[in-house]
Amino acid sequence: MVGALVIGLGAAGCSVVETRTVGAGTPAGSPTGSVAGSVAGRTPSVGWERGLVPRDYTGRFRVGATVLQNGAGDAGRPALCSAVATSLPPQCAGPPIEGWDWAAIPRESQEQASGVRWGEFVLVGRFDGTVFTLTEPAAPAGSRSDPAGPSDPGDRFDTPCVQPSGGWVVVDSSRAGQRDLDRAVSAARALPGFAGVWIDHRGSPPEVEAGRESDVSGVVLTVAVVGDEVTAEQRVREVWGGSLCITRAARAYTDLQQVQTEVVEELEGQGLIGASLDETAARVEVVVRVATIEEQSRLDERYGPGVVQLSGAFWPLDR
């Protein structure tokens, strides 16, 4: 951290403007609920924690997915669904599965309607870019533990600002309710150079009784901007009297939206599962069937390290 400035609230205040840059290797938090979005970025380590493999990887993958078969014959081979339309029966598209045998699957793990059969399963096999070939019988989802997979990144909703000496306290209780928080989030998103907004619950989020407004007195609202943090603090303070952290971001939200659009267009038809913005890390997070080290390197070269984070839906088992 380069430094921090407490704006006009003294030692007991809790409106902090940080000069650390979110999105340039600085840990940050993550959005919740209606405050979801995307912002800063940690430089990704190229490795197994996101399922990245070399382009010439020929080992096994594990994947949990819907398997669906519509009709008989070769054209009706079971498919490993990348996305599922929740109609009845459901519909999906995905690579065909070689070696599938419904007779080996417990009947209670299968569903059928109008000639379509489907279920949720854990599959282990090899993928050649076109066909997923089983190397062992599939198992119903949840029937066994899965030791392989991404590790828990921890609480990504933490505020990046250092806690003031007097602690995080409410500055003006008349402007510290749920409606005020909603207005503050809207005000943040309207800021020039807006980069992200998220909420850090200091402790467990309170339970909300039906018909009553949420108690948000224990939250810290974090707003990330590219540009003038002091002006951003003043604008948000017009509507929010709770704890507030203003932090500098490396990239504006609109810039990340443009990157997301370009990456989706590039990877459409190449195993793309989905892409989203992470406001707390100032990056675009992209999930593809098989994520390669080479593709991550290409994205780093084009957009800068950490701007696009690639992850694989197929989890590699053979190192």
What domains sit in the chain, N to C, each tagged with a CATH number? 4-38+155-249 (no CATH), 48-54+253-316 (3.30.1340), 61-140 (no CATH)
Helix (H, G, I), strand (E, B) or coil at 274: strand
Give CA–CA dist 17/1, Å, rounded: 12
pLDDT score for 72: 53
**Residue-wise pLDDT tens digits, 260-316:** 999 999 998 889 999 999 999 999 999 999 999 999 999 999 999 999 999 999 999
206 or 82, which is more confident: 82
Portion of the chain with pLDDT greater than 70, in percent? 75
Closest CA to 198 of 238, 244, 167: 244
pLDDT at 27 over 80: no
**Cβ-Cβ contacts under 8 Å for 13 (sequence gap 6 or more):** 6, 7, 164, 166, 169, 171
pLDDT score for 28: 35
Burial letters 223-241, b for 16+ CB under 10 A, else e: bbbbebbeebbebbbebbb
Q: In which element (H, E) is residue 253 found?
A: helix 253-267
* pLDDT band for position 210 (cuts 50, 70, 90): very low
What is the pLDDT averaged over residues 228-251? 95
- For the ranges 27-36, 132-141, 172-181, the lowest mean pLDDT is seen at 27-36
**Residue-wise pLDDT tens digits, 159-173:** 899 999 888 989 999
Give pTM, 2 decimals.
0.77
pLDDT score for 154: 52
- For the ranges 24-38, 99-113, 173-187, 209-223, the lowest mean pLDDT is seen at 24-38
What is the pLDDT averaged over residues 204-229? 73
Give CA–CA dist 95/77, Å, rounded: 9
**Residue-wise pLDDT tens digits, 62-75:** 999 999 998 654 45
pLDDT score for 277: 94
Give CA–CA dist 221/12, Å, rounded: 17
pLDDT score for 31: 34
